[in-house]
Chain A
């Protein structure tokens, strides 16, 4: 095993410089991908004609530039990544749709995280019956797959707004932060610095937010990002089942319409493929952020 004794130059450089864990390549790449999608949403709205998102504003089923569809039509520069079966420009569709998916994920995860922080601290601090109730409720709710309850909800209520969908998903996103925070708070309560703060007469609020919170941040970030992913997966799942917002373009709904019109058999790959790849990029970005954060908070996973 010669190569483990001889360190490469990059490894030596990494050992020499002050180790800043936040300059983690995975974290940077992941954040880059997600920011890229956000920028696409912002710049797209400024640079591209958003009127093209309406049905019938463009020819049907045009391929991206440089390709030909089954009818022999070539792609045109006016619709660089093609159009869908209802005559909508795909570029404008994804400029609006992709940030929407991200927004649902972030919103649902934020709400879920807030509930989780509240319940987790309550359980850890108040103990007793409150703790029991919260613990059992979290255990129970973590087993129920959100998709199925939401299917029942949306099937009965019909159309929902984007925000409403995020709120609904958030109802199922508080369990894991709650459990995580509760477990950490229970163990931190007994630790020296918390005891010290308590003896010094610090208020409960001070102990919660000044003493405990900073130690929780890496865990919370990880849990937050994981929840963003789960929320987006749930939202896309609903949209692919034909539920979710009906009048707002979302990536999931575009895929749903493509499958329903037989885009797979007609080889209209851009129609479902571009939203699919964008979603995949989004998920990979989130995963990289999460892996990066993992390495930041757990140095044992870091490579030399």
Chain B
């Protein structure tokens, strides 16, 4: 076990803080550069619903005051940052009196759950297959079939989601088309609910796994080729250790560690990809929330969802950065 040096920890903390701060600021600045006025959009929605709106100007002024749009920009910004720190993104304009944070709190567990499951599976499968591609004792079929499957690596999950959905949900009707659990299932810690969740989550998770495992497999292949040529591998063979033992204890254990750093580079894309998969499957997560908000031009929700997803990404990178020196003592920091 390694140790986390203080200056490294500090460095990572500063990066985490800067990332979140820059993202929050961008999310705040961008809508203010735009000529579109959120209060007018709300009024437009009222007008669309009721036909005409009496005292439009008064309502507009009230709405502006309510959302604090009349304050000087600096005051608005400070207020915004203060609110963002406690996850207060204001009220949703589409489903008006609901707090954005409540909507996000409802969607976040689904996204996190799907992400953890799909990333774990894909990391495991990808690295194992990547290792088998290099291992000289793997069956010939493995060494031919995996590189062929690799072609899917570059396809974004949204396309695989469409194809899988069409084949297994629309044509074969093996899996449901939408949602994260059945209509008639009461959410709770029951077996029936769990079954329904797994049943609904299978295709979204699969569509992420089929197109991402290749990334890990490719990385693993490169690392395994290096490890294969190391003296300790030759020595292990010369000692007559069982090949399988060499594969797991000598080769994979050494090759897999740098793979964990690849998370830091990949996680943003993975999360963005999953958001889109959720939109395709109408899965009750952040992706669907974001898509609905875009349709309704619900700015507080768009801002809130974007912020929370970026925060999630930044935190994951931070955690990976911290775990890595603990598990790989070969890494020295400060250079």
Chain A positions 261 through 301: 1 when the CB is less than 8 Å from some CB of chain B, otherwise 0: 00011010100110010011001101110000000000011
B71 within 8 A of A: no
Interface residues on B, range: 35 or more
Q: How far is the CB of B173 from chain A (nearest CB, A)?
A: 11
Say which residue of B159, B169, B268 sits within 8 Å of A144 (CB atoms): B268
A147–B177 CB distance below 8 A: no
A237–B158 CB distance below 8 A: yes
Interface centre among B34, B156, B264 (most CB of A within 10 A): B156
Selected interface stretch from A39-47, A51-59, A149-157, A212-220: A149-157
B6 within 8 A of A: no
Which A-chain residue is minimally distant from B32 (CB atoms)? Answer: A156
B275–A147 CB distance below 8 A: yes
State the CA gap A51–B276 with chains docked (Å): 32
Q: How far is the CB of A210 from chain B (nearest CB, A)?
A: 29
B154–A229 CB distance below 8 A: yes
A148 within 8 A of B: yes
A144–B23 CB distance below 8 A: yes
A250 within 8 A of B: no
A145–B313 CB distance below 8 A: yes
A236 within 8 A of B: yes
State the CA gap A136–B170 with chains docked (Å): 47
Q: How far is the CB of B31 from chain A (nearest CB, A)?
A: 4
State the CA gap A286–B21 with chains docked (Å): 34
Which A-chain residue is minimally distant from B153 (CB atoms)? Answer: A287
A202 within 8 A of B: no
Chain B positions 297 through 317: 1 when the CB is less than 8 Å from some CB of chain A, otherwise 0: 101001101100110011001
Which A-chain residue is minimally distant from B160 (CB atoms)? Answer: A280
- Measured between beta carbons, the chain A residues less than 8 angstroms from B74 are none
B170–A283 CB distance below 8 A: no
B158–A156 CB distance below 8 A: no
Which B-chain residue is minimally distant from A172 (CB atoms)? Answer: B268
B19–A143 CB distance below 8 A: yes
- Measured between beta carbons, the chain B residues less than 8 angstroms from A286 are 154
B162–A255 CB distance below 8 A: yes
B155–A152 CB distance below 8 A: no
Chain B positions 164 through 176: 1 when the CB is less than 8 Å from some CB of chain A, otherwise 0: 0110011100000
State the CA gap A141–B310 with chains docked (Å): 11
A242–B294 CB distance below 8 A: yes
State the CA gap A148–B271 with chains docked (Å): 10
Which A-chain residue is minimally distant from B286 (CB atoms)? Answer: A148
Q: How far is the CB of A258 from chain B (nearest CB, A)?
A: 9
Q: How far is the CB of A46 from chain B (nearest CB, A)?
A: 29
Contacts A140-B22, A151-B302 given; indicate if A284 touches B272 (C-beta within 8 A).
Answer: no
25 A-B Cβ contacts within 8 A? A136-B14, A143-B268, A143-B313, A143-B314, A144-B22, A146-B272, A147-B276, A148-B310, A152-B30, A152-B302, A155-B31, A155-B297, A157-B36, A176-B265, A233-B156, A233-B273, A234-B272, A236-B158, A237-B158, A240-B158, A242-B294, A276-B163, A279-B156, A280-B155, A287-B151
The 10 closest A-B pairs by CB, nearest first: A287-B154, A156-B34, A145-B268, A283-B154, A148-B306, A156-B31, A147-B272, A145-B272, A233-B156, A140-B19
Task: List residues of chain A with CB under 8 Å of any chain B CB.
Answer: 1, 136, 139-149, 151-153, 155-158, 176, 229-230, 233-234, 236-237, 240-243, 255, 259, 264-265, 267, 269, 272-273, 276, 279-280, 283-284, 286-288, 300-301
